[in-house]
């Protein structure tokens, strides 16, 4: 009996030693270059910012301020688009939608106004061909003139001009994704903000994430979410795990791959934000980098207010810069410096 106990204890000791060495390996990751970059950019980032790096489901680097913590929700502007695309793909997995369905199948008024060829795929990739105003700070902060998403999308059908054939030109904005959001409402018979909580946020444990607003504005699937850095990391962990979060499948592996696949790469660029220059566009997110074989590796969904989440499938980590400020385009250089410093630390 004593021998058995000795062997058992020795096995336990070896296991504990292995776990300790593993933890030390994580803790010894040198993020001094990243810390120096954050310090150098303190003026740009302001007093309200969070920077987090997550690998294997654990935060391996965290810099937060007194004014903005890891679990503090903030408006994330266009970083909302990734969530909306994921919700569409959940409904595709359930057999309720198809990316190549014409939107007129759900909203017949589009057919009446000769816009029946637009599909959900066009909507999620900003290639509807409808006239789209560039996203601006003023448009993001001003109150919507529409009382509901239904009324807003109806105006797209009746008043928006067709300037390109669907799929032929890329024009970044809120029109397409808001149309797709309205299709979600019709199929689910629930408001967009309710169904995304049920299908995406709650299963991912994203307690701070919401599209609901108290201002009487129409729900905005393209840029109206509020979320904390911690919750956004849950979403990206699911993406990195090919649709699985905490052992539960949220999206099929095929749908995750579709979300991360560049759409219409040969489309002419009618409008693309400065911060995304040279990037391709998938479904609700940008393809920022490819490897030497042309395979997509880094995906992001930045928002104008300063939220910049990204997933690196090659190095298997996710990260987010969340800055509660109103200057977005100048963050591209900061993102690049932070990304390079993270990769240097992980390699």
Residue 324 pLDDT grade (very low, low, confident, very high; cuts 50, 70, 90) = confident
| Average pLDDT value for residue range 188-216 | 96
State the DSSP string of 175-208: HHHHHHHHHHHHHHTS-HHHHHIIIIITTTT-TT
Cβ-contact 310, 298 below 8 angstroms: yes
Which pLDDT value is given to residue 294?
A: 82
Which pLDDT value is given to residue 276?
A: 83
Q: Which residues contact 331 (CB under 8 A, 6 or more apart)?
A: 275, 302, 306, 308, 321, 323
Quote the CA–CA distance of 100 and 209 in Å, as a whole number. Answer: 29
Does position 21 have pLDDT exceeding 70, yes or no? no
**306 or 199: which carries more pLDDT confidence?**
199
Which pLDDT value is given to residue 333?
A: 86
- Dihedral (CA of 209, 148, 103, 81) sign: negative
pLDDT (tens digit per residue) in 53-82: 999 999 999 999 999 999 999 999 999 999
Q: Which two tokens stand for residue 260?
A: 């991360």
Residue 155 pLDDT grade (very low, low, confident, very high; cuts 50, 70, 90) = very high
Cβ-contact 88, 94 below 8 angstroms: no
Cβ-contact 128, 222 below 8 angstroms: no
Q: Classify domain 31-346 at the CATH class level.
A: alpha beta
pLDDT (tens digit per residue) in 159-170: 999 999 999 999
Which pLDDT value is given to residue 139?
A: 55
Q: Which residues contact 178 (CB under 8 A, 6 or more apart)?
A: 149, 152, 153, 156, 220, 221, 222
Residue 143 pLDDT grade (very low, low, confident, very high; cuts 50, 70, 90) = low
Query: What is the Cα 241 distance to its own chain's centre?
Result: 15
Angle at 331 (CA atoms; ends 325, 332), nearest 5 degrees: 160
Quote the CA–CA distance of 132 and 117 in Å, as a whole number. Answer: 17
Nearest to 285 by CA among 334, 232, 338: 232
Torsion of CA 223, 224, 227, 229, to 10 degrees: 20
């Amino acid at each position: 009996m004593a021998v058995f106990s000795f062997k058992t204890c020795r096995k336990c000791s070896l296991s504990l030693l292995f776990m300790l060495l593993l933890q030390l390996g994580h803790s010894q990751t040198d993020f001094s270059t990243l810390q120096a970059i954050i310090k150098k950019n303190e003026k740009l980032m302001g007093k309200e910012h969070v920077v987090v790096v997550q690998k294997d489901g654990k935060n391996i680097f965290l810099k937060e301020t007194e004014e903005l913590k890891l679990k503090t929700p903030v408006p994330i502007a266009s970083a909302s688009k990734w969530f909306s695309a994921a919700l569409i793909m959940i409904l595709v997995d359930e057999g309720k939608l198809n990316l190549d369905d014409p939107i007129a199948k759900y909203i017949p008024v589009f057919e009446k106004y000769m816009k029946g060829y637009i599909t959900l795929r066009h909507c999620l990739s900003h290639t509807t061909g409808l006239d789209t105003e560039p996203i601006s700070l003023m448009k993001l902060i001003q109150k919507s003139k529409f009382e509901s998403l239904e009324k807003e999308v109806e105006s797209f059908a009746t008043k928006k001009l067709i300037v390109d054939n669907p799929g032929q030109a890329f024009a970044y904005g809120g029109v397409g994704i808001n149309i797709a959001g309205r299709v979600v409402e019709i199929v689910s018979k629930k408001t967009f903000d309710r169904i995304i909580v049920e299908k995406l946020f709650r299963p991912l444990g994203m307690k701070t994430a919401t599209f609901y607003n108290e201002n009487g504005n129409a729900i905005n699937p393209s840029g109206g979410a509020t979320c904390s850095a911690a919750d956004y990391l849950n979403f990206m962990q699911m993406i990195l795990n090919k649709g699985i979060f905490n052992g539960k499948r949220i999206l099929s592996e095929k749908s995750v791959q579709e979300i991360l696949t560049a759409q219409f790469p040969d489309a002419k660029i009618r409008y693309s934000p400065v911060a995304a220059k040279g990037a391709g566009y998938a479904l609700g997110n940008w393809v920022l980098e490819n490897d030497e074989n042309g395979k997509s590796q880094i995906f992001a969904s930045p928002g104008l207010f300063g939220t910049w989440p990204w997933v690196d499938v090659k190095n298997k980590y996710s990260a987010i810069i969340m800055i509660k400020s109103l200057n977005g385009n100048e963050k591209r250089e900061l993102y690049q410096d932070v990304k390079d410093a993270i990769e240097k630390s992980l390699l």
